[in-house]
Structure 1
Amino acid sequence: MDLIATQSCNVVIYLENLYQGNLEPNSLQSINAIPWTNWLQIWMESLSPETNLSQDCEVSLRLTSDRDVQALNCQYRSIDKPTDVLAFAATEADIIIPEEIAEPLYLGDIIISLDTANRQAISQNHSLVMELAWLSSHGLLHLLGWDHPDEVSLKQMLERQSQLIQLLEI
């Protein structure tokens, strides 16, 4: 019998809901009920064999409007239009973190436009919660070093996102 050692990585999430738009009250209630920390914990456990992170991690998640995302997109990417999700990694993907570091590793920031997420959920004919799961998993993968500069890598990333979403049983 082979024993497999698993790595554990607890996730602390800092959630900022800065949205001041026109979403319906039902949508806002569903957003407030999302178990963000649970989602990220499930995803990090699933991704731990790929990431080799055995220490606790921290992630900042900001929910905001198209206007705020557009300003950030313009400032940091020189693209003057809103987008659905931005991810700003705090570390380089290939950095080696000594295991004896006692503090959680700050992975970075995920910023989601609730306006764009809502429009995409409607156009994709699924719930806003599903769309937010999709966007937050995409942002997390970026924080962990995934990227999609070409069609092949985009397909791989989207497949991995789909696997992560299935873990949530939404």
Structure 2
Amino acid sequence: MISLDVALDFSHPQAEMIAETDWQGWFGQWAEQMALTGSPIDAYELSLTLTTDSAIAALNHTFRQLDQPTDVLSFADRDLDSPLTTELLATEPLYLGDIIISLDTAQRQAEGAGHSLRRETVWLAAHGFLHLLGWDHPDDETLATMLHQQTALLETIGLIGEN
């Protein structure tokens, strides 16, 4: 069985709308569904930060040279070939990376789509999770494939159809 630990940073007043145990369970189910590989001990970690538009805009500027907020950013940890990493993987979880979600942007998107902030936030977390696993969407075809996989992830945890 795959183990996935989620480090949470709730730097937004609405961030606690979803319990830490829910996040842990959902990411764990997604890890199983995506059949994660790479850790000889089947243990993984990621961090999830729920933050504000101003905080994510600063990150967007620093890392993408875009002067605006965005809904989700993902920073995958891809340094898996170093000797130190190989040695650590025998005893420590494989760190997948960081997912940062702006709850301000998520709230606007949820209102526009007619569903809850909770559902939008989990949708964005699934999107970020796929990015950590190497998924990308440079064109309409790959975006459609990725959105289909996001839907499958939300179906797994019973959130499709939830407002």
- The TM-score range, normalised by the shorter chain, is 0.7 to 0.9
2:41 is the counterpart of 1:52: no
Question: Shift of residue 95 of structure 1?
Answer: 6.1
Aligned to 1:23: none
Contact 1:117 1:131 in 2 (8 A): yes
SS in 2 for 1:74: helix
- State the identity %: 44
Paired residues, number: 154
SS in 1 for 2:75: strand
Aligned to 1:43: 30
Paired residue for 1:17, among 10, 13, 26? 10
Question: Shift of residue 133 of structure 1?
Answer: 1.0
Contact 1:34 1:129 in 2 (8 A): no
Contact 1:9 1:53 in 2 (8 A): no
Q: TM-score, normalised by structure 1?
A: 0.82
Paired residue for 1:80, among 42, 59, 67? 67
Regions of 4+ moved over 2 Å? 27-34, 51-54, 94-100
Paired residue for 2:90, among 87, 91, 101? 101
Q: Is the alpha carbon distance of 1:108 and 1:147 closer, same or farther for their aligned partners in structure 2, counting shifts above 3 Å?
A: same
What is the CA–CA distance in structure 2 between the aligned matches of 1:29 and 1:60, rounded to whole Å? 15
2:77 is the counterpart of 1:90: yes
Which structure 2 residue ranges, 5 or more long, are not aligned?
none
Paired residue for 1:138, among 127, 152, 156? 127
